[in-house]
Amino acid sequence: MNDWKKKAVVYEAYVQSFKDSNGDGIGDIQGLIEKLDYIKNLGANVIWLTPIFKSPLVDNGYDIADYQAINPIYGTMDDFKKLLSKAHEKGLRIVLDLVVNHTSDQHKWFKESQKNKENKYSDYYIWRDPKEDGSAPTNLGSAFGGSAWTYVPERNQYYLHLFAKQQPDLNWDNPEVRNDIYKIMMFWLDMGVDGFRMDSISFISKPSKFEDAPLEDNKEYGAYYYGSANGPHIHQYLQEMNREVLSKYDVIAIGETPHTSAKEARLFVEPERHELDMVFQFEHMHVDYGKYGRYSDVTFKMSDLRNSMSSWQNSLSWNSNYLGNHDQPRIVSRFGNDNKYRKESAKMLAIVSLLQKGTPFIFQGEEIGMTNLHIKKIDELKDLEAHNIYNFLRSKGISEDDALNMVNRKTRDNARTPMQWDESEQGGFSSETPWMEVNPNYKEINVKKDLKDPDSIYHFYQKILKLRNNNQVLLDGKYELVSSDDSAVFAYTRSTGKEKLAVICSFVPYKVKYNLPTDFVNRNELLLSSYGDNKAKASNVMYLRPYEGVVIRRE
């Protein structure tokens, strides 16, 4: 991996909720341009934009109707070019979301494809005949609920959609599909875009023969990823994409790979395979899954989080380090404490994740400790996933209150509320009513406040990123877990031949005693503490305050 990629620090901007520049309540490209310095000053140098392309927005833009057109609600192609050049002037790179496991059903390819079996696009999607009784080819369910197959009378066939029925899956086995995708990629790369985050990329290669999936817990449908996660030709296609496109540019390729084990993930990212630079894994996002999967009323155990993150650190030479994104709850609400210790735990979570080996990813709002939204009525939620799940939970006899609580903990809307810029109405996000309500705590939690306060979460992110940038050992150094039997503290070291740092993080709301790793005893220097003060050198024991995170150097 070349130097700039190693030093990349990625800020994920969920565009429609980042900054509205023209008062229509929707974040836009111009708004992003206004805030480039904000992102740069934080210490990020790459911005990943969630999809900004033409889309009917059934899944907030992850349903693309034209890959080469900007959705007018975000601005124009000229605005985008301006963003690109302004960002480049400031030394910031721009990464786009490439959503090519599926398109929107409004894409011209699909509109043609569904007409009959004889046109140029008829084989662009995954079409299968009904069963003899006319029912769907298999029991596969969609990720958002219901069957993954939808019937189209014109073809007397079903098409596959792992996600919403308005998101038909592309047929990557068709070389023309792959070619068209490569052309789209080159269109953006030739314009100067610096890389892609590839949505759901582990699902692109489908099984040649679809089969019924085993049904768990009297569910009606089989798991959506059954047979499609890491399908038969996935690596052949990614190597082809690398050969045909990526290798010709100096760009970054980040794959989103749900339902991929660490062993399988190696095949995507080990450099000699010439596929992608890194992947987003999901194992550590499953630490609080329960009987109802993601939407269960379960709280994570720190040791599970530690084991999962460490095993990925040990398995891959480079990781994408993240705790949250636009699909996940707010990290301080999920893994920290969004009440009394919001500030302390937000800082600690930043240390624990961003200093592991790999690329740090910061999702907008994490840097000021934004929290989950606690809605009171299901109608207040926007996300289609939340509504489907709520109905499913209710159908299983779960009470309204309990179902709402389960959805509140995990709904993707938690991450999608507008960015809280200041204490003015609508949190300074927009002059009008935003497309989605601002979290009512915006007067307490906002950027303006954090920029003023030297002890803020924002300023602490700056410190962490500076530390990473100025210490080669944090870029290249080996990751080693210190102890795997401590229930309160997640500690690891980063080391090269001569240098060694220890990152020590408490996950509990009280003071804990921590015995230093032997080689740090009596010889350590404090580089960073989330409590900001300079403690006296620790001899062999450290007393960590609630949610305290520290970085020490071996002397």
Selected binder of ligand ISL within 18, 163, 318, 335 (CB under 6 A): 163
Does 107 participate in binding ligand ISL (rule CB under 6 A)?
Answer: no
Residue 400 beta carbon to ligand ISL: minimum distance, rounded to whole angstroms = 23
**Which residues between 264 and 283 bind ligand ISL (CB under 6 A)?**
282
Pairing mode of beta strands 10-13, 46-49: parallel
Q: What positions carry a catalytic annotation?
A: 199, 256
Sequence-separated (6 or more) residues with CB below 8 Å from residue 479 = 310, 313, 314, 356, 357, 492, 493, 494
Q: Which member of 12, 288, 327, 450 binds ligand ISL (CB under 6 A)? A: 327
Residues 177-236, interacting with ligand ISL (CB under 6 A): 199-200
Size of the site for ligand ISL (CB under 6 A): 13
Residue pointed to by tokens 């005949």: 129
Whether the CB-CB separation of 27 and 428 falls below 8 Å is answered with no
Q: By CB under 6 A, what part of segment 55-84 binds ligand ISL? A: 59, 62
97 binds, among Ca ion, ligand ISL, none (CB under 5 to 8 A by kind): none
The token pair at 182 is 């490569």
Q: Does 143 bind ligand ISL (CB under 6 A)?
A: yes
Residue 12: name the closest of 43, 52, 39, 41 by CA. 39
Q: Based on CB atoms, which residue is closest to Ca ion, 60 or 337? A: 60
Q: Phi, psi at residue 470, to the nearest 5°?
A: -95, 0
Tokens describing residue 495: 């080391």
The strand ranges marked E within 295-431 are 320-321, 359-363
Task: Choose among ligand ISL, Ca ion, none what residue 200 binds, the Cβ cut-off being 5 to 8 Å by kind.
Answer: ligand ISL
DSSP letter for each residue of 216-254: PTT-SSB-TTTTTTT-TTHHHHHHHHHHHTGGGS--EEE
Could you say whether residue 246 binds ligand ISL (CB under 6 A)?
Answer: no
Nearer residue to Ca ion within complex by CB, 20 or 344: 20
Contact partner, 143, from Ca ion, ligand ISL, none, Cβ < 5-8 Å per class = ligand ISL
Residue (52 or 198) nearer to Ca ion, CB = 52
Contact with ligand ISL (CB under 6 A) among 13, 33, 99, 177: 99
Residues at the interface with Ca ion (CB under 5 A)? 20, 22, 24, 26, 28
The binder of 22, among ligand ISL, Ca ion, none, by C-beta within 5 to 8 A per type, is Ca ion
Rounded-to-integer distance, Cα 349 and Cα 336, Å: 7
C-beta of residue 492 within 8 angstroms of C-beta of residue 503: yes
Work out whether 460 is an interface residue with ligand ISL (CB under 6 A): no
| Closer residue to Ca ion (CB): 49 or 204 | 49
Among 134, 235, 248, smallest CA distance to 189 is for 248
Q: 301: closest CA among 483, 488, 480?
A: 488
- State the residues that interact with ligand ISL by CB under 6 A: 59, 62, 99, 143, 163, 199-200, 256, 258, 282, 294, 326-327
